[in-house]
Structure 1
Amino acid sequence: MAMHPPDEAPPASRRIPWPILAAAGLALFLLALIWFGHELVEGDGARIDQAILLAMRSGGHPIGPAWLPSAVRDVTALGSTTVLTFLVLVTAIFLWLAGRLRTALLLIAATALGSLTVETIKALVSRSRPDLAGRLMEETSKSFPSGHAALSAIVYLTLATLLFPVLPDRRIRAFVLIVALALTASVGVSRVYLGVHWPSDVVAGWAFGGVWAMLWWRIELAVLGRARPVF
């Protein structure tokens, strides 16, 4: 059997088709997400959702001091389409001016395609918004998965990974990642507190956004040929 030197790439016919495997894995993940959403709509899996949502109400009113609902609305705005679109566009323009056009285009593509995928899943699952407690905001779209949770994960995690190559200290990279995760978590929790999403909607949004962000991080590494930063 012919042996290849350690630094020689294997023949094309023997290489693992990672792009195909990644696409298949993503397809299976999306199918599982859609199945999970249908199970919540048609089955009995919503009891935990109801218990968590009702735990955030006391006598029909949101728990906590009088100023908390207003503060939570401010937090939830950090995951709104308006704020995230503005943030992505400003970052993309900055990257373009800094001579990193491909990175800017990848950021826009990741966000736009992620948003389109979330809206498609919402339409396929067609889960209604919670009606157990008074909502503190009005929403008209379907409930599963949470677009705020998904898009905040996509945008904040993607922006964090874009900063990794220019942050030499792994402690700083860890801090940036923690901030991105904290923002994503805060937005998701705010959606449940405001009564506009079931907890499982938020968890599904986090899962989708995290997988989507990591997928596009790998695409960025492949396209731009960057070394992966080590924590």
Structure 2
Amino acid sequence: MSPTRPAPQSESAPTPPVAERPGSLRLSLRVFLLLCGLSVLLFALITWQVLADGPLLGVDERVSHALVHPDRWSELLADLGNGQIAVPLLALVAVYVSWRGHTDGAGRWWLPPLAACVLMALVPAIIVPLKEWTGRHGTPVMPPGGDYYPSGHTATAAIAYGSATLLLLPWLRSALARLALLTLCAVLVLGVSFGLVRRGYHWPLDVVASWLLCGPLLLPLGLSYRSRRQSSSRTPRC
């Protein structure tokens, strides 16, 4: 009697995507909140030094004197932080993401673009009163005045380019494309920051303070991106 052959197995059903661990979103939230708390603490420290004319300002001025060298390239980099450039770019990305979300039937497709626009509108509402309150004078190459801390151009670049990046990331399937977009965002923000300091438009601490201020402002969009990534990983695809 011949040995019994195993019955042919039917085609296996497609393997559903592996969902992220339930605690991953909570862990991300804790990390985000920790980083935001650290940013707020450092911003408060720098602001206190500006108001009290503390020793940190001496270090800041020495670094500025070593870096300042006005040239055409530094001015072009600084101009990337102008509202006339950064804000229209964010508006175009917001319109594109809204169209994609509406076309694909994504839930609450309007919320991330709206949040990005609200963040952009908050920049002058936050930066201008801080400038008037601190009243820090400009670098030696700038006209006298007291409205240089924190840097408005840096904040504009960080919020506009950072928000545009966070809006586009969920629509990029390739990890390489997402990495390229994040790198481009970092290069733009750092380029604007370097140009402002190199050109003598701002002290280095003015720029650093804007970085620290914009991190917590971008938190809602960052959490929104994380949440959308988690939802998409649980959605079966053909």
After TM superposition, is the score higher than 0.5?
Answer: yes
For residue 216 of structure 1, report the CA deviation from its aligned partner: 2.8
In structure 2, the residue matched to 1:94 is: 96
Q: C-alpha distance in 1, partners of 2:186/2:231?
A: 19
Distance 1:107 1:93 in 2: 11
Q: Structure 1's 86 and 128: CA in aligned 2 closer, same or farther, altered over 3 A?
A: same
Per the alignment, residue 33 of structure 1 pairs with 43
> Where does residue 12 of structure 1 map in the other structure?
none
Kindly report which structure 2 residues correspond to 1:24-103, keeping only aligned pairs within 5 A, or say none: 30=40, 33-41=43-51, 42-57=53-68, 62=69, 69-98=71-100, 99=102, 100-103=109-112
> Is the 1:33–1:204 contact (alpha carbons within 8 Å) kept by the matching residues of 2?
yes
Whole-angstrom CA distance in 1 between matches of 2:120 and 2:214: 10
State the SS of the aligned residue for 2:230: coil
**Distance between the aligned counterparts of 1:229 and 1:43, measured in 2?**
49
1:210 Cα offset (Å): 2.8
TM-score by length of 2: 0.70
Query: Percent identity at matched positions?
Result: 22
**Whole-angstrom distance in 2 between the partners of 1:72 and 1:36:** 25
Partner of 1:197: 202
Change (3 A) 1:121 1:30: farther
Q: Which moved more, 1:140-149 or 1:168-177?
A: 140-149
One-letter code of the match for 2:116?
L
CA separation of 1:164 and 1:201: change in aligned 2, threshold 3 A: same
Residues 161 and 54 of structure 1, relative CA distance in 2, 3 Å threshold: same
Distance of 2:232 and 2:115 partners within structure 1: 19
| Deviation sequence 1:102-121 (CA, Å, 0-9, x none) | 22211101211233222232
Larger Rg belongs to: 2
CA RMSD of aligned residues (A): 3.3
For residue 46 of structure 1, give the secondary structure of its aligned residue in structure 2.
helix
Q: Deviations for 1:162-200, whole angstroms, at most 9, x for unmatched residues?
A: 222111221221111011001100100111111121111
Query: Partner of 2:187 in structure 1?
Result: 182
Structure 1: 5+ residue runs without aligned partners?
Answer: 1-8, 10-14, 64-68
Q: Does 2:116 correspond to 1:114?
A: no
**Whole-Å separation in 2 of the counterparts to 1:55 and 1:28:** 28
List runs of 5+ in structure 2 lacking aligned partners. 1-21, 103-108, 234-238
Instruction: Give the secondary-structure state (helix, strand or coil) at the position aligned to 1:94.
Output: helix
Query: What is the CA distance between 1:202 and its match in structure 2?
Result: 0.8
Secondary structure class of the residue paired with 1:227: helix
- Counterpart residue number, 1:66: none
How far does residue 32 in structure 1 lie from its aligned partner after superposition? 5.4
SS at match of 1:45: helix
